[in-house]
Structure 1
Amino acid sequence: MALCCTLSLMCRRLRQLLSTQCALLSSLPGRDCSLLAEKRVEKWKKRNAGEGCSLPGSSWEERLADAATPLWRLPYQEQLQVKYENQRKVLQTLTSRLQELGVDVQKPGELCCPLRPVVPSPITNGYRNKSTFSVNQGPDGNPKTVGLYVGTGRARNIVCVRADHVKNVPPKHKQVAQEALATQKALLKEFFTSGPGAGCALTSLYFQESTMTRCSHEQSPFQLLYGEPHIFEDLLGLKFRISPDAFFQVNTSGAETLYQAVGELSQADRDTVLLDVCCGTGTIGLSLARRVSKVIGIEIVEKAIEDARWNAAFNGISNCEFHSGKAEAVLPQLLCSWEDTRPLVAVVNPSRAGIHYRVVRAIRNCKAIRRLLYICCKPEGEATRNFLELCCPPDPGKKLVGEPFAPVLAIPFDLFPHTVHCELVLLFSR
């Protein structure tokens, strides 16, 4: 896997801040997990509840690791069990909510659909292909500490701590973060091309001035200081171009496992049209393009759409079209006049905020869509509302007149070892 890094410079007041952005199934027990595993999970929850989740006597580096990767102290198999139990609770909540709406689900006490064990990440340490660091005052008062923030604005106790103990950050990224980075563009370029930072093997070096810790290219343009204007990743035999502002999964090998499963679950064939909502740089659609008749991608980030179109052309894929704009504006127009007789399968991969109600309504009311794959990085959040809107009985008042979907299968994929997060793939059909 290629090392992909981007560097951006941000200014806050008079201080300049630097930021470096530099299907095997688990053998874990299913619903009937062992008592020992349950006790370990509960012990972890108690230990990590609230703000004081770090162990007594922990170093600042360990406190940072507890905040950024709260499961790092657990053996990996126990991490997977914690995540399995979290996803099970999500489905239990969804089952109860569906029952309240009068939806016929499985027997009381069971889940609305089978939940498979968490698919483990092929790589558990140093898997991030992009890392973000800041330069600010550290716990020892050093104003040029390079690392990640610990603390809260409300408590006014934020400090910048080195990422030595953060297991998902690659060693080369940590090495760069431990050096004193120059704050001038020329020195910054020299540092990464011929200085101590050369070991990171940057392919692109960007500079961004901002009054915020994070902002878009439109808000504050990225300035290329060195290298190629894009970074590249190889995924499932394809090469993908990625702009600094475009979304791409941080765990490349884990994403390959996820997308392979999506292809199998979609049951798409040469007669299928694949609708890829929130498509980013086109990774899902392009990885499945050669097995389907056509791919239609929708994405709000214009730069990502430019990448997707370039990726299709570079990889010799001609059966894809990509639309730039908000999904709630593009998708209803696309589907309201849909007359194609080919099977239509939808894949939705939104941010943590889920998809807009108008997107749900457009999918729900399109008779051609019989199969839907929802990839969710935070199923306990707004995505639950999406699930209920997809599965509830017809509601003319909300203009949900189409036949309801039903959850068929849930599979969690661990793309973020040592954290509490994973990607949950929910298969719906009707």
Structure 2
Amino acid sequence: MEMNSSDNVCAPEEKSMTPLVETEDATEEETKQDGGDDNHEENTENCPSMYRYIKEDLFTSEIYKVEIRNLPKYIGFNDVKKFLAKYELNPHKIKLFGKQTFAFVTFKSEEERDKAMRILHGVMWKNRYLSVRLAKTKADPIIKKRKKEEEETEETEAKRPAVAKDKEEKPLSQQIADVVTPLWNMPYEEQLAKKQQECEQVLQKLTKEIGNNNKALLPWLFMQKQKYSICCPLEGVKASPLQTEYRNKCEFLIGVGLNQEDKTVGFRLGKYKGGTCAVVEPFNTIHIPAVAKKVVKAFQDYIRSAPYCVYSPETYEGHWKQLTVRTSRSGHIMAIVHFNPQKLNKEELAELKMSLANYFTEGIGKDSGVTALYFAQEGQRKSPNREDLPLEHVAGDKYIYEDLLRLKFRISPHAFFQINTQAAEVLYTTIREWAQLNQASTVLDICCGTGTIGLSLAKGVKKVIGIELCQEAVEDAKVNAQINDLNNIEFHCGKAEDIVPSLVNLLASQNPLTIVDPPRAGLHSKVILAIRRAEHLKKLIYVSCNPRAAMNNFVDLCRAPSNRVKGTPFRPVKAMAVDLFPQTMHCELLIYFERVDYANRNSTEATPDSAETQAVEAETAGSAQKDSNSIDLMEKKLVAPSSS
């Protein structure tokens, strides 16, 4: 269920792109709760408050949910996503229940839901005819949990596991640290080792996927595994120069504290679907800068003295929702206040904005150092995307500025900028070293944000072309080019999947290096397919803040040509991680892909020549059916655990 609230922000910042498709894990018991309960109508009557949210004037995809049954066995989330995309269906959320052959899929509108039902019902997928029906909405988890707690007896309470009691006895500062910075208690060297292990697992999976999807690469892949145990060498994890107080953008929820402290600004102790709305102050978290905490303290003091209460995702009443703070090494601080006006009139809202402006420019809040103040009215919005939310500038400057690699960058409220500036310098320096560009080079920068990567490379190349969805970011990027006196860079605003196919054809003669730095979910499949078709794009650096989510992109770059995927495949040459998110499990993974060069048989980076292939076949084959057996044996060796 989508409520008008956000989860804690301790993961990589989301980059502007098409709305993401989410996936959630679920147990068999949860399937009954999420639309599989035949007694739903009775439950609705007996406990109407548990389903009240679907009748409010708020966005929720729960009312546009369908249940798809008789799915093929053992399919995964990406399989379902691809299958729906084949029929031009754009789901908001997919919930697939393990090996069970059904899934719940939600859409953003009644029209999209009905279209899906018309198209999918009776369609055959892997020799199975699909059945589609309307799904029942899920009960509000907060109210459901409260009802369950009320029904528990004292005997049940006494039998609660000792582990749960120990968790409750932890200091509040430790509880919230465990949520937002789960590695806070681990030495930094061990954090890096843990992240390297995670990256190795990703590359192991990619190795297996390439073998499953491109048989022609098996001889090369087999030799790569012999050398590196994975498809390409992993050149370690580069450390962040700053391991604490590194976040330059933080989103703080506003709610009721764990001990019922009113109007608390900080992080939620758990997720709404887990049955909690309690918010804990961020003052003991180690990844938040002191300057941001100072703004939080000043703002919390202000709202506690103001007459308006906090917004409740349970009742949809109240006003204060979120505070976003962006900071820079230049000493600039931007604060964005998210507020639900409910039934306040224009005069009351104008008075509130004036009060906020005075507080941060002339009042007690002036000491917090806020240099740019924005006000966001969220209201009863129908769209689930915060990027679409209009912001009103109420005080101070309109922008903040940051210095990075001797360049100056202007940053707007909605624009993406890497959240760890010093580690971003390490990341961009690594990209520049890998790219090996010269004055004749052209760079295609996809999902360029405010232009940081392209601008950092511009002085050493002939031309840079950036593509970005967020209009504010594109405007910033153009200004940034002017500020830094760079005239060989241009930016295009729009969806990458719409722009790339036509743009790459114009670059055919320039043989550009492609750099992609997409959102967590990865690039739209249309972009990957356009890159594959553009044979003149020979080299690609993929920067991923969630490589497991981007695995689909990696595989599509490397899979064998087909009716869907045109063009010669790529293959990974090397990989490296950069730790932009200390104290958390996240890091940025760079993978350098090169187009397979079948013509250059003698190249060490090309497909193995006939002698090498025969040697591999001789090692792996042992019967008259040499060719087929060698493929089978190589596949088995490919997925077997490495001896190293």
The reply to whether TM is greater than 0.5 is yes
Distance in 2 (alpha carbons) for counterparts of 1:107 and 1:271: 35
Match of 2:194 among 77, 82, 86: 82
2:440 aligned with 1:281? no
Match of 1:389 among 543, 556, 559: 556
Alignment of 1:25-424 (within 5 A): 57-101=169-213, 102=215, 103-104=217-218, 105=221, 106-107=224-225, 110-179=229-298, 180-182=301-303, 184-211=352-379, 219-340=388-509, 342-381=510-549, 383-395=550-562, 397-398=563-564, 400-424=565-589
Q: Which has the higher contact order (CA 8 A, sep 6+)?
A: 1
C-alpha spacing 1:299/1:413, structure 2 compared with 1 (3 Å)? same
Distance in 1 (alpha carbons) for counterparts of 2:176 and 2:454: 37
Query: Which amino acid counterpart does residue 346 of structure 1 have in structure 2?
Result: T
Query: Which amino acid counterpart does residue 389 of structure 1 have in structure 2?
Result: D
Please identify the structure whose Cα radius of gyration is greater.
2
Query: Which amino acid counterpart does residue 63 of structure 1 have in structure 2?
Result: Q
Q: Partner of 1:429 in structure 2?
A: 594
Query: Which amino acid counterpart does residue 501 of structure 2 have in structure 1?
Result: P
Which shifted more, 51-60 or 179-188? 51-60
8 Å Cα contact 1:413-1:424 kept in structure 2 = yes
8 Å Cα contact 1:54-1:62 kept in structure 2 = no
Distance in 2 (alpha carbons) for counterparts of 1:77 and 1:212: 47
Task: Report the CA distance between 1:217 and its aligned residue.
Answer: 6.9
Distance in 1 (alpha carbons) for counterparts of 2:421 and 2:249: 10
Task: Report the CA distance between 1:283 and its aligned residue.
Answer: 0.5
Q: Residues 144-184 of structure 1, C-alpha deviation per residue, up to 9 Å, x if partnerless?
A: 11111122222332211001222110112123323412453
Q: Residues 305-349 of structure 1, C-alpha deviation per residue, up to 9 Å, x if partnerless?
A: 111111111111000110000000000011234442x33100000
Task: Report the CA distance between 1:353 and its aligned residue.
Answer: 1.2
Distance in 1 (alpha carbons) for counterparts of 2:455 and 2:419: 18
Task: Report the CA distance between 1:386 and its aligned residue.
Answer: 0.5
Q: Residues 368-412 of structure 1, C-alpha deviation per residue, up to 9 Å, x if partnerless?
A: 21110000000011x1010011011222x11x2322111011110
8 Å Cα contact 2:179-2:270 kept in structure 1 = no
Q: Partner of 1:22 in structure 2?
A: none
C-alpha spacing 1:237/1:54, structure 2 compared with 1 (3 Å)? farther
Distance in 2 (alpha carbons) for counterparts of 1:240 and 1:85: 34
Task: Report the CA distance between 1:299 and its aligned residue.
Answer: 0.5
8 Å Cα contact 1:235-1:252 kept in structure 2 = yes
C-alpha spacing 1:200/1:178, structure 2 compared with 1 (3 Å)? closer
Task: Report the CA distance between 1:200 and its aligned residue.
Answer: 3.1
Task: Report the CA distance between 1:198 and its aligned residue.
Answer: 2.8
Task: Report the CA distance between 1:261 and its aligned residue.
Answer: 0.7
**Structure 2: gaps (5+ residues):** 1-55, 57-162, 307-351, 596-644
Distance in 2 (alpha carbons) for counterparts of 1:389 and 1:219: 30
Query: Which amino acid counterpart does residue 434 of structure 2 have in structure 1?
Result: L
Task: Report the CA distance between 1:358 and its aligned residue.
Answer: 1.2
Query: Which amino acid counterpart does residue 385 of structure 1 have in structure 2?
Result: N
2:479 counterpart SS class: helix
Task: Report the CA distance between 1:133 and its aligned residue.
Answer: 1.6
Distance in 2 (alpha carbons) for counterparts of 1:259 and 1:297: 15
| TM-score of the pair, normalised by structure 2 | 0.56
8 Å Cα contact 1:172-1:199 kept in structure 2 = no
Query: Which amino acid counterpart does residue 77 of structure 1 have in structure 2?
Result: E
Distance in 1 (alpha carbons) for counterparts of 2:449 and 2:183: 29
Query: Which amino acid counterpart does residue 274 of structure 1 have in structure 2?
Result: V
Distance in 1 (alpha carbons) for counterparts of 2:557 and 2:206: 12
Distance in 1 (alpha carbons) for counterparts of 2:386 and 2:571: 39
Greater helix proportion: 2
8 Å Cα contact 1:271-1:343 kept in structure 2 = no
**Matched length:** 378
Distance in 2 (alpha carbons) for counterparts of 1:336 and 1:52: 59
Distance in 2 (alpha carbons) for counterparts of 1:210 and 1:405: 44
Which shifted more, 327-336 or 190-199? 190-199
8 Å Cα contact 1:296-1:320 kept in structure 2 = yes
Distance in 1 (alpha carbons) for counterparts of 2:449 and 2:205: 30
Which shifted more, 151-160 or 241-250? 151-160
C-alpha spacing 1:155/1:305, structure 2 compared with 1 (3 Å)? same
Aligned identity (percent) is 41
C-alpha spacing 1:241/1:171, structure 2 compared with 1 (3 Å)? same
Distance in 1 (alpha carbons) for counterparts of 2:235 and 2:437: 21
8 Å Cα contact 2:295-2:370 kept in structure 1 = no
Task: Report the CA distance between 1:197 and its aligned residue.
Answer: 3.1
Distance in 1 (alpha carbons) for counterparts of 2:353 and 2:189: 45
**Structure 1: gaps (5+ residues):** 1-12, 14-50
| TM-score of the pair, normalised by structure 1 | 0.83
2:176 counterpart SS class: helix
Question: How large is the RMSD of aligned CA atoms in angstroms?
Answer: 2.3
